[in-house]
Chain A
């Protein structure tokens, strides 16, 4: 394969998967359609996480905060004016008296996510390792606390409802393809390569002139903007949202998706999100009792037990994930076959 075709192949691999899932969603029942679209939206969120965590190698529990602010921005700004003063009377006048269109709300969700990430990241990107993990966890807690209690910016402890359900197959697919393309363009750019160099060896990267703090901040901000967009797509898919829906469990699920697929590659993020979404949906259905030839009924809680086991087992046994941290390429399967026969894995 020629080197020139490489970025195209790396883009087309994940995008084909997304388009296939998007196309499938138009052919099935409404319930399954929602599940498939949910998988695509989860994937955009996981790719957003990947842009920071995967490229920088720094752990962050905080990216779901940007999903949350994106979701609430897009949601609050698209509730029809005539019902907004009724359901959210305490809002700041600016938010209460204006309603924007669907596309504008998504752009604003991305913008708010990005700006929030830039503000938070400016001090936090000095930290790495454990300190970064704990500090970003603190960001998640603060965002959740504010969204839950401050009724001037949102619904507070109640559900934000009456959001137009405008995320359909076309919008979800376009959103996901856009996010994948941006992530790929970033990781192949000069900045992306500098950050990936610092992931492998921060000291050596600094030695050749990489400003690690600045590169991490760029990625954190871009990741925040993409996560905000993911949040916007999510709220327009669900039509309603609470602060608890974009908190610990979403953080856990999206980290599990990233870890299962392979933290260090874009293709890993995409594959992990789709595989874990599929499993998650199936187990969620099975907890309510699903008929697959025979009735398959799992007790409540099985879903998270299995996902938690899968994530922990992956971290312990195969930290590089399903994809082994590699990008999509046409001879990927062939290479995998050779390695398995060789019996050696790293």
Chain B
């Protein structure tokens, strides 16, 4: 590690930081999407990345059909939102009374199912992976104070800021937001006081689907080649960030997502590849240590619903 630190410091220029902030913003959006559903359902959605993957495929197919970009984006939102609502109705709702571990293993199965379904659709043309050429034009860079910033990075940061701002207003100022906060604090008591479970859960799933669709657009612009494992690794990394940050509260989960995105951006931008081969081990070891020592998360105070100890 002693040789890594000077490397990191030397490579920390404005360019790396700009890219890292962009990645952090995308991961923060994903963290909010995962955290919203966890809040009301106590469900860690392993299949969240596959929602994003489905949106990316929608963009790719729209691009191949020659649709304009805005229509492709609408299709992407429609597909992702429909899929997440269907997932809630078919999978989450019947499992609502089951233990969080059963829900986790079920979403693990759903993740594999959706990934294989994508492969099934994808290989009809005998190649794996589809290009999404029409959205790639958004990927041009503009020069800002001597730093090359891609347009999509600016979009990502703006979308993240706006989405988080709106979400804060929604949760803080509206009735449905109040109900969601009540439900995530104590679902049973909230129901007794007249909060409708299906409405609140459906709304949380809807919001998380909207965020997944936004992330799908941003990620596809950055990497316009869509394959069945699109966003799979990003989702695992975000889940790590969410758990390390603190999954119980939305803002700690978001901060965790942003932090791990920013850290990945800095490390990947600054270190040569041969120095980062064991990085996943270090990151996952950190997850284990946090779960053991601070199960509520690094940024959180108090007890966690994860901390069900023996």
Query: Chain A: residues with CB nearer than 8 A to chain B?
Result: 58-59, 61, 123-135, 138-139, 141-142, 145-146, 149-150, 198, 202, 206, 212-213, 216, 249, 252, 255-256, 259, 299-305, 307-309, 311-312, 315-317, 319
Given A58-B101, A146-B278, verify A213-B310 contact (CB < 8 Å). Answer: yes
Q: Is B123 an interface residue (CB 8 A)?
A: yes
Among B114, B228, B280, B310, the one with the most A-chain Cβ atoms within 10 Å of its Cβ is B310
Q: Which residue of A lies closest to B98 (CB)?
A: A319
Q: Is the CB of B123 within 8 A of A299?
A: yes
Q: In the bound complex, do residue A129 and residue B99 qualify as a contact, i.e. CB atoms below 8 Å apart? A: yes
Contact yes or no, A146 B281, CB < 8 A: yes
- Contact assessment for B123 and A300 in the assembled complex, using a CB-CB cutoff below 8 Å: yes
4 closest A-B pairs by beta carbon, nearest first, are A308-B113, A304-B116, A301-B119, A301-B120
Task: List 19 A-B pairs, Cβ < 8 Å.
Answer: A59-B104, A59-B105, A126-B310, A127-B291, A130-B100, A142-B284, A149-B277, A299-B123, A300-B123, A301-B228, A304-B113, A304-B115, A305-B113, A308-B116, A311-B109, A312-B113, A315-B109, A316-B94, A316-B106
Q: Which of A134, A198, A256, A315 contacts B239 (CB 8 A)?
A: A134
Query: Are the C-beta atoms of B106 and A312 separated by less than 8 Å?
Result: yes
A259–B106 Cα gap in the complex (Å)? 10
- Give chain A residues whose Cβ lies under 8 Å from the Cβ of B110: 308, 312
CB-CB nearest in chain B for A316: B94
Contact with A145, one of B116, B120, B280, B305 (Cβ below 8 angstroms) = B280
Secondary structure call for the B interface: helix
The answer for the CA separation of A213 and B98 in the assembled complex, in Å, is 23
The distance from the CB of A164 to the nearest CB of chain B, in whole angstroms, is 30
A308 shortest CB reach to chain B, Å: 3
Answer whether residue B39 sits at the interface, using C-beta atoms and an 8 A cutoff.
Answer: no
B44 is contacted by which of A130, A206, A213, A311 (Cβ under 8 Å)? A130
Kindly report which residue of chain B lies nearest to residue A143, judged by CB atoms: B281
Q: Is the CB of B280 within 8 A of A129?
A: no
Complex-state Cα separation, A133 to B119, whole angstroms: 27
B161 interface residue per 8 A CB criterion:
no
Given A127-B292, A141-B284, A312-B109 in contact, is the A133-B104 Cβ separation under 8 Å?
yes
CB distance from B309 to the nearest CB of A (A): 6
Q: In the complex, A139→B280 CA distance in Å?
A: 11
Q: How far is the CB of B94 from chain A (nearest CB, A)?
A: 5
A315 close to B306 (CB less than 8 A): no
Q: Judge whether A300 and B120 touch: CB under 8 Å.
A: yes
Are B278 and A145 touching (Cβ within 8 A)?
Answer: yes
Return the chain A residue nearest B123 by Cβ. Answer: A300
Whether B71 is near chain A, meaning CB under 8 Å from some CB there, is no
Chain A positions within 8 Å of B173 at CB level: none
How far does the alpha carbon of A256 sit from the alpha carbon of B108 in the complex, in Å? 10
Instruction: Report the nearest A residue to B274, measured CB to CB.
Output: A149
A249 to B116, CA, bound (A): 11
- B163 smallest CB distance to A (angstroms): 26
Min distance, Cβ B109 to any Cβ of chain A, angstroms: 4
Kindly list 14 other residue pairs between chains A and B, CB separation below 8 angstroms, not including A305-B116, A317-B94. Answer: A124-B292, A127-B291, A129-B306, A130-B104, A133-B105, A134-B44, A135-B292, A138-B287, A141-B280, A149-B277, A206-B310, A308-B110, A309-B113, A316-B95
Q: Which residues of A contact B91 (CB under 8 A)?
A: 312, 316
Contact B119 A300 (CB under 8 A): yes
Closest B residue by C-beta to A134: B243
Interface residues contributed by chain B, number (CB under 8 Å): 51
Flag whether B307 is at the interface (Cβ < 8 A): yes
CB-CB contacts of B115-141 with A at 8 A, as 1s and 0s? Answer: 111111011100000000000000000
Which chain B residues have a beta carbon within 8 Å of chain A's beta carbons?
A: 42, 44, 90-91, 94-95, 98-102, 104-106, 108-110, 112-120, 122-124, 228, 236, 239-240, 243, 277-278, 280-281, 284-285, 287-288, 291-292, 295, 305-310
A135-B288 in contact (CB<8A): yes
Complex CA gap A311/B123 in Å reads 24
What's the nearest-Cβ distance from chain B to residue A60, in Å?
A: 10
| Cβ-neighbour of B310 out of A128, A142, A311 (below 8 A) | A128
Kindly provide the distance from the CB of A141 to the nearest chain B CB, expressed in whole angstroms.
5
Chain B neighbourhood of A123, CB < 8 A: 288, 292
Chain A residues whose C-beta falls within 8 Å of the C-beta of B117 in the assembled complex: 301, 305
Chain B residue at minimum C-beta to C-beta distance from A127: B291
**A residues in contact with B281, CB < 8 Å:** 141-142, 145-146
Do B116 and A131 touch across chains, with their CB atoms under 8 A apart? Answer: no
Cα A124 to Cα B100 with chains together (Å): 18
A252 touches which one: B112, B119, B243, B277 (CB < 8 A)? B112
A-side contacts of B115, CB under 8 Å: 304
- A124, A125, A301, A304: the one contacting B288 at CB < 8 Å is A124
Residues of A close to B106: CB separation below 8 A: 311-312, 315-316
| Complexed CA–CA distance, A149 and B280 (Å) | 11
Within 8 Å CB of B309, what residues of A?
A: 126-128
Q: Distance (Å) between the CB of A283 and the closest chain B CB?
A: 11
Cβ–Cβ contact B280 & A142, under 8 A: yes
- Quote the shortest CB–CB distance from A5 to chain B (angstroms): 34
Q: Which residue from chain A places its CB closest to the CB of B90 in the assembled complex?
A: A316
The answer to whether residues A315 and B280 also contact, given A206-B310, A300-B120, A301-B116 and a CB cut-off of 8 A, is: no
Assembly CA distance A202 to B277 (angstroms)? 40
CB contact under 8 A between A252 and B292, given known A129-B101, A303-B116: no
In the complex the two chains form, what is the Cα distance from A79 to B278 in whole Å?
A: 26
List the A residue with the shortest CB-CB distance to B118: A301
Do A256 and B123 form a contact, CB below 8 Å, given A123-B288, A301-B116? no
Query: A133 near B101 (CB under 8 angstroms)?
Result: yes
Chain B contacts of A311 at CB under 8 A? Answer: 106, 109
| Nearest-neighbor residue (CB-CB) of B99 within chain A | A129
Known interface pairs A126-B309, A127-B291, A319-B98. Does A256 touch B284 (Cβ–Cβ under 8 Å)? no
User: CB distance A131 to B278 under 8 Å?
Assistant: no
Tell me, in angstroms, the Cα distance from A319 to B115 when the chains sit together.
Answer: 23
